[in-house]
Structure 1
C-alpha cells in the first residue's frame, strides 16, 4: 500500500513529469491572471477565436522551417486584427465576425494539416502533450509566461481601468487603442504558451474557467486574481498527477479538474445565497 508521500514523490522521480509539472504550473498561472481580465472585459469569445485561429500558423511555420511559436503568434494576432478591421468596416456584430474569422482559419488549418506530412501529431496540437514537453519547449513556455505576467504587473492599474471603464481611461489620456491591441498581443502569447499543455481546443477553458470561478467568489480584482491563480494552479498540479496514475490525457484532465472546482464554487455560492436571506429574516 502506497503512502501519500509515495504518491506525491514517485512521479517526481521521472524527468518528463518534472518538466510537465513546471510547464503546467507556469501555464496555469499566466492563464489565470489573464482570465480575470478576459472575464471583466467580456472577451471570452475572443480567447476562443484566437486559440482556434493559431492552427494554420503552426502548419505554415513548420513548412517554413521556423519555430512553431512564431507561426502560432502571428496567426493569432492576425485573427484579432482581422476581427477588429471587419467590425469597424461593416454592420456585423463583433461576436458574429469572430465566429466567421476563427472558424474559417481553424478550417484552413485542418485542411493544411491533412495535406502536409509532418512529424507533429494532430492530437498533440489540438489537445496538448505536456508529458512530452522537451527542455526547449519548457523554457519557451516559461519565458512567455514570465513576459506576459510581468507586463500585466507593470501596467496593472491602467489595464484595470481600461477593462472596467474604457471611456474614463480615454478621458484621462490613456492610449486606449494601444492597450486594446497590447491585450490582444498578450492574449495570443498566452495561448501560444498554453499550447504545449492543453492544446488548441482546450486552451479556452484555461483562459475562462479560473476567472469565472474567482468572479463568483470575490468582490475585488486583487482577491479575484489570487483566487483565480490558486484555482488554476491546483487544477494543473492535481490534473497532472491524476493523469499520471490513471494513464489519461493530461490536458483534458487538467481542464476537468478546473470544471470540478468551478462546480464546487458554484455550489458554495448558491448555498451562501440561500442561507443569507434566512439569516436576515425576522423571528416569528
Structure 2
C-alpha cells in the first residue's frame, strides 16, 4: 500500500515534472541560501525576490521573457541598495527595506494595470504554480542549478574566505567586488529558478529554512550546504506528495515541511536544541 502511494502520482507527466523541478529548486536554494545565512543577509534574498515582480510585469508588457525580466530587476535592486549605502549614512538594512517596499509596490501597480487588458494570474507569480511547469522550464531550472553548483565548486575557497573574513579577503587581494556581484547573480538565479515552484512570496523560506536547519546540526559550511540541500530535496518531494494527496497548494506545502524540519532541529539539535539539557550539548568548536 505504501509503495502504491509513492508510485501513483508518478503516472502523471505533470507530477513527474513538478517533482523534478522541486528537487532542483531544493538543491539550488540551499546552496545559495547557506551564504546568505552565514553572512546575515537573509533579508537580501527577500528583497531580491520581491524586487523581481516589476521585472516580470515589464517583460510581460514588452513581450519578452518574463524570467529574464525578473533576473534583471533582481540585479538592478541590489545595485540600488549598494548605491544608497555608498552615498548616504543609511545602513544596509534600511536601504534594503526601502528598495523592497518600492519594487514590490511598483510590481503590484504594474500587474494591476496589465490585468485591465490581459488575463494574467497574479496568484501564480506570488505563490508559484509548480504543477504547471513545462519540460522547457524543467530544462532551464536544471541548467541554472548546474551553473550555480559549478560556480560554487570552482570558487568555493574564495567565497568561503570572503564570507567569513571580508576584511581579510580584501587585504589578501581577492576581487571583493567581483565576488560580491557574483554572489548576487547566484542569488538572483536561484530565485528565478524557484519562481514557478514557490513564487515570490515564499521563495525566501526555501532559501533560508533548509540552510538554517542544517546550520543547527553541523558546523562546517560545506556540510551546511550538503545537509541543507538534502533537507531541501526531502522538503520539496514531501510537500509535493502532500499537495497531491490532500489537495493543498504546492508551494506552501513545501515550505511548511521545511519549517517542520527546522522546528525539530531547533528543539532537538545536539548543539543548540532547546529541549536538550545544556550539559549534554556538544560544545561548538572555537
User: Deviation digits for residues 143-180 of structure 1, max 9, x if unmatched?
Assistant: 11111111111111110111000111112211011101
1:189-228 alignment to 2 at 5 Å?
189-228=189-228
State whether residues 265 and 273 of structure 2, in contact with CA within 8 Å, keep that contact through their aligned partners in structure 1.
Answer: no
Structure 2 residue aligned with 1:9, among 7, 10, 13?
A: 7
CA distance in 1, matches of 2:98, 2:195: 22
Which residue matches 2:235? Answer: 235
Structure 1 residue aligned with 2:277, among 262, 265, 275?
A: 275
Which residue matches 1:186? Answer: 186
- Aligned length, in residue pairs: 278
Structure 2 residue aligned with 1:113, among 107, 111, 114?
A: 111
Alignment root-mean-square deviation, CA: 1.5
CA 1:272–1:89: 2 relative to 1, 3 Å: closer
User: Deviation digits for residues 47-105 of structure 1, max 9, x if unmatched?
Assistant: 01001000000011111111111100010001000000011000111101111111111
State whether residues 218 and 224 of structure 2, in contact with CA within 8 Å, keep that contact through their aligned partners in structure 1.
Answer: yes
CA distance in 2, matches of 1:130, 1:209: 19
Structure 2 residue aligned with 1:104, among 102, 105, 109?
A: 102
Moved more, 117-126 or 143-152: 117-126
Q: Does 1:259 align with 2:259?
A: yes
Which residue matches 1:130? Answer: 130
Q: Does 1:75 align with 2:77?
A: no
**Structure 1 residue 185 displacement after superposition:** 1.2
SS at match of 1:10: helix
Which residue matches 1:90? Answer: 88
State whether residues 114 and 120 of structure 2, in contact with CA within 8 Å, keep that contact through their aligned partners in structure 1.
Answer: no
**Structure 1 residue 279 displacement after superposition:** 9.1
Which residue matches 1:58? Answer: 56
For normalisation by structure 1, the TM-score amounts to: 0.95
State whether residues 28 and 145 of structure 2, in contact with CA within 8 Å, keep that contact through their aligned partners in structure 1.
Answer: yes
CA distance in 1, matches of 2:109, 2:2: 47
SS at match of 1:218: coil
Moved more, 261-270 or 76-85: 261-270
CA distance in 2, matches of 1:56, 1:119: 17
Moved more, 213-222 or 12-21: 213-222
Can you give the 5+ residue segments of structure 2 that lack an aligned partner in the other structure? Answer: none
User: Deviation digits for residues 249-274 of structure 1, max 9, x if unmatched?
Assistant: 00000000000000011111255874
Moved more, 229-238 or 267-276: 267-276
Structure 2 residue aligned with 1:42, among 40, 43, 50?
A: 40
CA 1:167–1:278: 2 relative to 1, 3 Å: closer
Which residue matches 1:246? Answer: 246
Moved more, 21-30 or 218-227: 218-227
SS at match of 1:232: helix
**Structure 1 residue 120 displacement after superposition:** 3.2
State whether residues 28 and 190 of structure 2, in contact with CA within 8 Å, keep that contact through their aligned partners in structure 1.
Answer: yes
SS at match of 1:112: helix
